[in-house]
Structure 1
Amino acid sequence: MEQVDTVEQVDTVEQDRHARQDHGKHGHRRIEVLVPMRWGDMDAYGHINNVQIVRMLEEARIKAFGPPRGAGLPGVEPQVSLFNAVPEGTMALVVDHKIRYVRTLEYRNIPAVVQVWIGAVKGASFDIHYLVKDPVTGEDCVKASTHLAFVDEATGRVQRLTAEQKERLAPYTH
């Protein structure tokens, strides 16, 4: 793990990692992103609060697959354009979260390392998996998954994944 001391170094490492892909234990591709730990994320025990872990998972998901269309101003392109490439009027909604806290993630003033990959891809939904690691020790701290579906904003109906969406997810599917 690279030791970083300044904001400039964190930015440089972030840019390097943005393009980096890990191939996991079985050669499957994973996207690795850095997610800042904020001072306010820490609880009275000195580690990142479990509620803030959900926020960090969201940040990792957006860094890996892009922000929803129309949210904010253009910025850095994600590793895989997915959420930012959905048709107008389509929402990406969380159906379920599963989180296992393997060990506490101690607050550090450098970003946590989060590996992201795709699990099950079904007709109208898919799973995103996460592994949150301590940025200094490299130890696994959190294993999680998010089940998502695309929903038509006007009708509220779930939309089937397109062939193009499945193709974008395929290299990262385990």
Structure 2
Amino acid sequence: MARHIYACPLRWSDMDAFGHVNNVVFLRYLEEARIDFMFTQAAEAGAGEFAGGSVVARHEIDYRRPLVHRPEPVTVETRVTRIGGASLTVAYEIKDTAADGTETVYVQASTVVVPYDLAEGRPRRISPVEREFLSRFMDEEVVAV
């Protein structure tokens, strides 16, 4: 299964009073990775309809360890865990991978995304082209609905 990899820069303003990235900022990191995945990468693959509108219906986030500011970006790894008729679930890991392959996971999260028709002001179905693009990033053990 392919995963979307996004190198997310850390900003000094992401820090809180305790010297690590603030919990709310991690949602911004997820958003940046999701936009790169669903808008930029999807458009390059011919499935650019997501850029026309989508809304977040749900976030779940588990904080595993603190992340402190440094000049190197953190990796946001994205995959699809569910494709429904009019929604999908994207799962993420925010992590570092050392040269020896050892991973440090800071956050594990998921987001339910609903494609949205902005002109009509309502959710819309996932198109066949979008479904094909998303399926490339689908967990193998999960079956699309």
Structure 1 gap segments, 5+ residues each: 1-27, 67-77
Is contact 1:121–1:127 with CA below 8 Å preserved after alignment? yes
2:9 is aligned to: 36
Does residue 112 (structure 1) correspond to residue 88 (structure 2)? The answer is no
| Displacement after TM superposition at 1:87 (Å) | 7.6
- Aligned-partner SS, 1:173: coil
Tell me which amino acid in the other structure corresponds to 1:171: R
1:75 is aligned to: none
Q: 2:25 aligns with which of 31, 52, 60?
A: 52
Structure 2 gap segments, 5+ residues each: 140-145
TM normalised by structure 1 equals 0.71
TM normalised by structure 2 equals 0.84
| Displacement after TM superposition at 1:63 (Å) | 2.0
| Displacement after TM superposition at 1:127 (Å) | 0.9
Greater relative contact order (Cα 8 A, min sep 6): structure 1 or 2?
A: 2
Between structures 1 and 2, the one with greater strand share: 2
| Displacement after TM superposition at 1:135 (Å) | 6.1
Q: 1:173 aligns with which of 129, 138, 144?
A: 138
Is contact 2:42–2:48 with CA below 8 Å preserved after alignment? no
Q: 2:96 aligns with which of 134, 154, 158?
A: 134
1:7 is aligned to: none
* RMSD between superposed Cα atoms in Å: 2.2
